[in-house]
Structure 1
Amino acid sequence: MISLFKQFESAGILGINRRIGEFILPNNPRKFYPLVDDKWKTAELARQFHVPMPKHYGRKDTFGGIQKTKEMVIDHPGFVVKPANGGMGNGILVITKSEKLENGKVLYHKSDGRVLLEKELNHHISGILSGLYSLDGNSDTCILQERLECHPFFQEISFRGIPDIRVIVYLGYPVMAMLRLPTKESGGRANLHQGALGVGVDLSSGTLTHAVCNDKLVLFHPDTKQTLSGRIIPYWNLILEMASRCFDMSNLGYLGVDIVLDEKRGPLLLEMNARPGLGIQIANRMGLVSRLQIVERIVNAADEPQERVHRMLREL
């Protein structure tokens, strides 16, 4: 067992304890966690820093307001329901279209092909408000958000839902990135814990490299059967600059930034994470430690986001 740990250490693999002790605790003051844990507060912050995000149609704070959900999204047949304080994709519903029935009720079509009755949607929102999906188990707020249209780059290689790009940012410098592709198993959601595909990304060019699904290396998407390596993500420099800017927004020194590509609007900030997971190392087949050490060597507090990106890429 000791030799196994030595192998991980020599390969520069960042473990959970070291991630917390050396990078999260010293660089992420607890007082700033609500800015990233609460997606509504994140959206307000993004507006101040002119970082584009999906539009919010409204929020539900009380059980009494649940029955008015239908009116809130009447002009938006496709929308997303999510807990403000949720994590790991739990509690998120993606509605692709709404269908009004003869009795006046509404039928909601989900991204995984299944349908929800109006009362079922309201019941799900009730669960969100009860804190069923919140990070701390306390009562929560439900957000009704714009449903994005998948960028053409992903239409061939993704299954139904909207993929996202996770970028690990340390002291404002992007250090590693991964593309997360929805699968049938994940229900169209880009969450690795639910069976989504993680694909390593060459930080310098945005080129897809290795892929992993359920912690196993794969050569192609299990549902679309498309190979992934060699494809280049569009807007790559803009994505890295946006991720870098999130350091200035959040005041968190070690964070995960999730960005989506909309067909019309391009890169949009989906959310930030103060405790990003370590699976990104598997997808990239390399450890985070060496990248984090680069940042500690080159960090310059005066750098703007664009300068931080360029400085980091020159070191790779």
Structure 2
Amino acid sequence: MFALIKTWKALQARGIMGINRRNADYVLKYNKRSLYPIVDDKIITKARALAAGIQVPEQYGIIATEKGIGRFDEIIDGRTDFVIKPAQGAGGDGILVVADRFEGGRFRTVSGRIISRAYLDYQLSNTLTGLYSLGGHRDRALIEYRVRPDPVFLPISHEGVPDIRIIVLLGYPVMAMLRLPTRQSQGKANLHQGAIGVGVDLASGVTLRGSWMNSKISRHPDTAQPVDGVQLPHWDRFMELAARSFDLCGLGYIGVDLVLDETRGPLMLELNARPGLNIQLANDRGLTHRTQAVEDHVATLAGSGVSETPPERVRFSQHLFRQAPAA
């Protein structure tokens, strides 16, 4: 028992945030339940983002009923690659990424698997029944543009699309990580499926060391290339998009997921009202010290009757949370 208490005190001293604290002090405090549909439904999120002038992957169409599955060919309109995802899915479940299309009604997924049109229809039907949705409720299927990753990720990613998760409190970015697909994750950038989480310095956009399967790493397990020291292009743009997401949804504590397309640049994928805590492992830093610093800053501004714009919030975070690479 003494050892456990000692360990917990050590974690507190480093500012490590536990799930109970996240829920009580941040999710419940800053996220109004009435606003959850804005982030839990990807179709609503996408519409709000476009209205705010934030770029997102192009939406080809929506299937809401079993009868609507018959419109699939019309929706993809001859395109050979696309993504199918549940509107209210979580954790990457139910997402199907198609990279090519062949004669005879067959498709190739990004991992190289050949699937039939019947399988694709089955996937759409499962999505509609709510198999992948939050709470198992009936859902809609979203068909959209397949992101093509920027070449900067080729040496440090296995198939799939790397993404960037930025935790934002009251419009201030507080921590970021790059999530890299692996063979273990089957090309998906989800940590619980075996992707790598790599810390990112908020000030510069340079990657730090990473975490994979709860172990610290410095090289990608599939490519053997270093994951640290990589300069992410357009970093200030990513930071501004994250800061603006607070104004877009009104939720005070969110995870903002973004991608870098080779031709379209930074795109916002989705928002998360209950972002996980593994980002602390990726950065080897705790969230609590940073979130408390933001809360103190916001309280000081409120006392003066001042509010900051997204660029000003980004500058504050980049100045205060600058993180040097590990030796």
Deviation at 1:224, TM superposition (A): 1.2
Q: What TM-score do you get using the length of structure 2 for normalisation? A: 0.94
Give the SS at the match of 2:230.
coil
Return 5+ residue gaps in structure 2 as ranges. 322-327
Number of residue pairs matched by the alignment: 312
Show the 5 A alignment for 1:188-227: 188-227=187-226
Whether the 8 Å contact between 2:171 and 2:252 is mirrored in structure 1 is: yes
Letter in 1 for 2:180: L
Letter in 1 for 2:310: P
Deviation at 1:8, TM superposition (A): 1.2
CA distance in 2, matches of 1:194, 1:112: 15
Aligned-CA RMSD value: 1.0
Give the SS at the match of 2:62.
strand
Give the SS at the match of 1:126.
helix
Q: What TM-score do you get using the length of structure 1 for normalisation? A: 0.97
Deviation at 1:297, TM superposition (A): 2.0
CA distance in 2, matches of 1:212, 1:315: 24
Instruction: Determine the structure 2 residue equivalent to 1:179.
Output: 178
Measured against aligned partners, the alpha-carbon deviations of 1:198-222 in whole angstroms (never above 9, x if no partner) come to: 1011111111111111111122111
Instruction: Determine the structure 2 residue equivalent to 1:310.
Output: 315
Name which of structure 1's ranges 299-308 and 37-46 shifts more when overlaid on structure 2.
299-308
CA distance in 2, matches of 1:112, 1:238: 30
Give the SS at the match of 2:136.
coil
Instruction: Determine the structure 2 residue equivalent to 1:28.
Output: 31
Instruction: Determine the structure 2 residue equivalent to 1:5.
Output: 8
Whether the 8 Å contact between 1:178 and 1:198 is mirrored in structure 2 is: yes
Deviation at 1:44, TM superposition (A): 0.7
Measured against aligned partners, the alpha-carbon deviations of 1:252-300 in whole angstroms (never above 9, x if no partner) come to: 0000000000001110000000000000000000100111011112224
Give the SS at the match of 1:17.
helix
CA distance in 2, matches of 1:54, 1:229: 27
Whether the 8 Å contact between 1:160 and 1:182 is mirrored in structure 2 is: yes
Instruction: Determine the structure 2 residue equivalent to 1:96.
Output: 99
Give the SS at the match of 1:217.
strand
Over the matched positions of the two proteins, sequence identity in percent amounts to 46
Return 5+ residue gaps in structure 1 as ranges. none
Q: Write out the 4+ residue segments of structure 1 that deviate beyond 6 Å after TM superposition.
A: none
CA distance in 1, matches of 2:112, 2:66: 28
CA distance in 2, matches of 1:71, 1:194: 33
CA distance in 2, matches of 1:15, 1:186: 25
